[in-house]
């Protein structure tokens, strides 16, 4: 912080001799090293110092997974691009997948880095890189940790990870199905899939497709603002067969949000 992000003055200020600082600079510029060893050492330092505490919600600890772009508009040969909300377009960047445990030091939120993945030659897109990060994020998690992802990862990718506990923001136009088959009406073939469920009404062709009534509703107050949620239970992916891993879908309506927030999880947690 005192060197305003400059690495080598910070090493010198810590008391390293000049030749050690030069060796560190040479290793960073020309050396070959693996970032994960440094990340693990960083975690040990943070835990040993003590003030960092993991956030807990309903008995679960969130572990965030997302893509981060290090924007380098003048970097020669920079092949990656990442969307930037301020520019409203994708800009040249070195894109990394980041996995971090959500916590705080005192009252300041502080994410503790767990995994950092650069682009792999086998990655066909940013979505593939994020899927690879989700797969690795699920390994070695504590029994009460839940991977939290944005809408870039599909539900099928999340469920494909064996035993992965997750909470995900999903598209507002997503659909699911009931786990139970509807009753046979006595004509035609027997139902092979559950009833289709939409979390929100849709008007794709000018005709409104209504959303079914929720299984439950949950209101609560946050800083004087009333939040209202609609909960759908015992759901499976629209492409899944009855008996597949069940999901819970929560549609959250908040006064400050222009659009409702649609979330899906495979944990039995409250809205």
Q: Has residue 246 been placed in a domain?
A: yes
Pair (63, 97) in one structural domain: yes
Q: What pLDDT does 161 receive?
A: 60
Q: What pLDDT does 226 receive?
A: 92
Q: Has residue 251 been placed in a domain?
A: yes
Report the number of distinct structural domains present in the chain: 2
Q: What pLDDT does 80 receive?
A: 75
Pair (50, 158) in one structural domain: yes
Q: Has residue 25 been placed in a domain?
A: no
Pair (65, 141) in one structural domain: yes
Q: Has residue 125 been placed in a domain?
A: yes
Q: What pLDDT does 123 receive?
A: 65
Q: What pLDDT does 246 receive?
A: 86
Q: What pLDDT does 124 receive?
A: 64
Pair (240, 148) in one structural domain: no
Pair (44, 146) in one structural domain: yes
Pair (39, 160) in one structural domain: yes
Pair (219, 131) in one structural domain: no
Q: Has residue 28 been placed in a domain?
A: no
Q: Has residue 26 been placed in a domain?
A: no
Pair (174, 159) in one structural domain: no
Q: What angle do CA 181, 185, 186 make, to 5 degrees?
A: 125
Condensed to tens digits (0 to 9), the pLDDT of residues 156-206 reads 777 776 678 888 898 888 888 888 888 888 888 888 888 888 888 888 777
Site of tokens 């994960």: 36
Q: How many angstroms separate the CA atoms of 174 and 100, rounded?
A: 27
Q: Has residue 55 been placed in a domain?
A: yes
Pair (118, 202) in one structural domain: no
Question: Which portions of the chain are predicted below pLDDT 50?
Answer: none
Q: What pLDDT does 187 receive?
A: 83
Q: Has residue 3 been placed in a domain?
A: no
| Structural domain containing residue 265 | 170-182+193-271
CA atoms within 13 A on the CB side of 8: 12
The DSSP line for 116-157 is EE---TT--SHHHHHHHHHHHHTTT--TTEEEEE-TTS-HHH
Plot region of 85 (φ>0 → left; ψ -120 to 50 → alpha; else → beta): alpha
Per the structure block, which two tokens stand in for 45? 């330092």
């Amino acid at each position: 912080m005192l060197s305003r992000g400059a690495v080598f003055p910070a090493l010198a200020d810590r008391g390293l001799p000049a030749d050690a600082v030069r060796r560190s600079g040479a290793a960073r510029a020309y050396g070959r090293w693996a970032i994960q060893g440094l990340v693990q050492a960083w975690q040990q330092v943070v835990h040993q110092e003590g003030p960092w505490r993991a956030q807990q919600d309903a008995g679960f600890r969130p572990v965030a997974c997302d893509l981060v772009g290090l924007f380098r508009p003048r970097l020669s040969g920079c092949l990656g691009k990442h969307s930037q909300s301020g520019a409203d377009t994708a800009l040249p960047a070195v894109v990394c997948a980041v996995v971090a445990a959500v916590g705080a030091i005192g009252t300041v939120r502080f994410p503790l880095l767990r995994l950092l993945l650069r682009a792999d030659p086998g990655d066909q897109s940013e979505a593939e890189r994020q899927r690879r990060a989700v797969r690795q994020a699920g390994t070695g998690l504590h029994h009460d940790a839940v991977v939290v992802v944005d809408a870039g990862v599909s539900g099928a990718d999340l469920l494909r990870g064996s035993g992965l506990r997750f909470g995900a923001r999903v598209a507002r136009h997503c659909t699911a199905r009931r786990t139970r088959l509807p009753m046979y009406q006595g004509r035609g073939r027997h139902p092979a899939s559950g009833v289709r469920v939409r979390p929100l009404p849709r008007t794709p062709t000018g005709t409104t497709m209504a959303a079914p009534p929720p299984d439950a509703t949950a209101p609560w107050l946050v800083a004087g603002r009333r939040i209202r949620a609609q909960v759908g239970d015992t759901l499976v992916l629209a492409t899944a067969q009855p008996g597949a891993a069940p999901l819970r879908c929560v549609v959250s309506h908040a006064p400050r949000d222009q659009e409702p927030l649609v979330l899906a999880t495979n944990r039995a947690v409250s809205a």
